[in-house]
Structure 1
Amino acid sequence: MDNLNSALGTWNDKLAEIWALLTQDPATFKGGGIWGVMLNINGALKAIGLGLLVLFFAVGVVKTCSSLADVKRPEHALKLFIRFALAKGAVTYGLDLMLAVFKIVQGMVSTIITTSGLSGSSGTALPQEIIDKINQVNFWDSIPLWAVTLLGGLFITVLSFVMILTVYSRLFKLYMFTAISPIPLSSFAGEPTSNIGKNFMRSYAGVCLEGAIIALACIIFSAMASSPPAVDPNVSAVTAVWSYVGELIFNLLVLVGAVRMSDRIVKELLGL
């Protein structure tokens, strides 16, 4: 029973940490130290982004203009000027744009959690029937029961760390997108290279939307966990515990799989 309670305690702790991370502002995570470093890198890369801005603009002029006469045409020159100005604004104020997208998606996540009525506070616990059967086991029957609970507890612990690593990877991707954003955003200056910036923004929006998919997966699991697996009172303790652990691991596998598939689901939604 200690093996199962320890594994379920680890799982509930990681699940509660996921609920906290889904609504976590990267600027306040770990005291804001990581965010400060990313902002410094973003500021340093702006200078490189502005240099690339001129390069991409020149490439765009060469690719879209067949001769110097095309550049002298007022409508074409105005189009090039507007594109350059917008690209300059994207590099300079791109971080503000990305934060606005992030706040919109975070509002969606908060709405999903609030509407579901689940806050992640309810954890998975051993049913009383399982506890009673374990307490009635004699010494010899406790040996295979100990092996079953040890393997089940180890599997549950591994699944909990796999799931939390996936959620942490989303947060780290947000930091990486923030730090390197001036480089791909500078590609908006040239029409032939503008797809780089478009794909970057779509990928960033996809990383933000992963939070909503993960929240939905956790809500579905919480609804499933509210009705624990049925325990047959007529079977032995080892069989009852094995049946309970097997069904519980299956439910946890479904949740871990849904969390890990969140990036694939978002890519299908956005056509990435």
Structure 2
Amino acid sequence: MDSIISAIQDWIKEMLVGGIMSNLSGMFDAVNQQVAEIAGDVGTTPANFSPGVYSMIRNISESVIIPIAGLILTFIACYELIQLIIDHNNLANFETWIFFKWVFKTFVAVTLITNTFNIVMAVFDVAQNVVNASSGIISAGTAVDASTLEAMEETLRGMDIGPLLGLFLQSIIVQITMYALSIVIFIIVYGRMVEIYLLTSLAPIPFATFGSREQSQIGQNYLRSLLALGFQGFLIMICVGIYAVLIQSIAFSDNIISSIWGAMGYTVLLVFTLFKTGAIARSVFNAH
């Protein structure tokens, strides 16, 4: 009779250990995959991230937005010429150099509009170099490797059925939460790139304002916004680097329950800090 009960206990125990390991393996795989892809995603320029989307955005911008930017530039150029004339007492104190100044400003403004996408891509090329140079900060790895999971399994086999049952239920909750967090990480990283495409599509309009003394702050703020989005990728890499150090410091074989909840806590912290990177980058570059 005792042997039958022992066999049933061993079967239940083996089933719980297998269920827990299955939950934990799937949980870590989902998060590890999303975190590992961050470096490649944030270190890619808009033109390389999705060439099809970038080509569509550029074609729409050049065919729809640039004509509007041309109208804005024409209005600004005429307004600036009138202001230059008025500033010199309605030609009573006339100086011919003001026309050369006006022609030069207009020429620069036209050059900026016609080279809008080259300038925008140059900003993100600089940001990409910074992100790629900093990618070494996650060289320690954010993944929970197979050896750690094996040690965890050995610890589980030494536990009683009661704690294993409680841990199994907790692992289900943590697994669902971690899957949700991996989706949030995906949304943050890809949402940033969509924001870049949206901002890029309207680039000619703010570039058209550089020729105006009163409205040039629109173009300046636009450039600051581009820099903020570009260097947000660097801040994301810093967050991942911090996460890598924290996740590798967890000893999963000592206290599995607290370790699992600790790993989830660090992942929640990663998601929270990823949300904050956009606001931090904008505050650094004073972009509105």
> Which TM-score band (shorter chain)?
0.7 to 0.9
Separation in 2, partners of 1:71, 1:214: 57
2:56 matched residue in structure 1 = 37
**Structure 1 residue 7, shift from structure 2 partner:** 1.1
Taking the TM superposition and a 5 Å limit, the aligned residue runs for 1:46-65 are 46-62=66-82, 65=86
Q: Using a 3 Å threshold, how does the CA distance of structure 1 residues 88 and 119 change in structure 2: closer, same or farther?
A: farther
**Would you say the 8 A contact 1:19–1:119 is kept in 2?**
no
Q: 1:20-58, CA deviations, whole angstroms, 9 ceiling, x for partnerless residues? A: 20222322334x211110111121111221111111223
Q: 1:236-266, CA deviations, whole angstroms, 9 ceiling, x for partnerless residues? A: xxxx333112211221122222221111221
Aligned residue among 43, 62, 77 for 1:23: 43
2:97 matched residue in structure 1 = 75
Aligned residue among 172, 175, 183 for 1:150: 172
Which consecutive residues of structure 1, in runs of 5 or more, have no partner in the other structure? 233-239
Three-state SS of the structure 2 residue aligned to 1:27 is helix
Taking the TM superposition and a 5 Å limit, the aligned residue runs for 1:135-214 are 135-137=157-159, 139-214=161-236
**Would you say the 8 A contact 2:140–2:244 is kept in 1?**
no
Separation in 2, partners of 1:164, 1:123: 17
**Would you say the 8 A contact 2:252–2:260 is kept in 1?**
no
Aligned residue among 7, 21, 32 for 1:12: 32
**Would you say the 8 A contact 2:138–2:241 is kept in 1?**
no
Q: Using a 3 Å threshold, how does the CA distance of structure 1 residues 117 and 246 change in structure 2: closer, same or farther?
A: closer
**Would you say the 8 A contact 2:39–2:135 is kept in 1?**
no
Separation in 2, partners of 1:197, 1:70: 33
2:272 is equivalent to residue 260 of structure 1: no
Separation in 2, partners of 1:139, 1:184: 66
**Would you say the 8 A contact 1:58–1:190 is kept in 2?**
no
Separation in 1, partners of 2:264, 2:247: 12
**Structure 1 residue 231, shift from structure 2 partner:** 4.7
Separation in 2, partners of 1:223, 1:140: 33
Identity of aligned residues (%): 20
Three-state SS of the structure 2 residue aligned to 1:170 is helix
Aligned residue among 223, 230, 234 for 2:245: 223
2:276 is equivalent to residue 270 of structure 1: no
Q: Using a 3 Å threshold, how does the CA distance of structure 1 residues 29 and 105 change in structure 2: closer, same or farther?
A: closer
Separation in 2, partners of 1:47, 1:41: 11
Aligned residue among 95, 98, 123 for 2:143: 123
Deviates more, 1:17-26 or 1:206-215: 17-26
**Structure 1 residue 140, shift from structure 2 partner:** 4.8
**Would you say the 8 A contact 2:243–2:266 is kept in 1?**
yes
Q: 1:73-129, CA deviations, whole angstroms, 9 ceiling, x for partnerless residues? A: 323323222221111111111111111111111111111114x37185x51245544
2:103 is equivalent to residue 103 of structure 1: no
Q: Using a 3 Å threshold, how does the CA distance of structure 1 residues 97 and 40 change in structure 2: closer, same or farther?
A: same
Q: 1:109-167, CA deviations, whole angstroms, 9 ceiling, x for partnerless residues? A: 111114x37185x5124554432233345555443222100111112122222122111
Separation in 2, partners of 1:119, 1:143: 33
The CA RMSD over aligned residues, in Å, is 2.3
Q: Which amino acid is 1:222 matched to?
A: A
Separation in 2, partners of 1:71, 1:163: 63
**Would you say the 8 A contact 1:3–1:149 is kept in 2?**
yes
Which consecutive residues of structure 2, in runs of 5 or more, have no partner in the other structure? 1-20
Q: Using a 3 Å threshold, how does the CA distance of structure 1 residues 117 and 164 change in structure 2: closer, same or farther?
A: closer
Q: Which amino acid is 1:10 matched to?
A: A
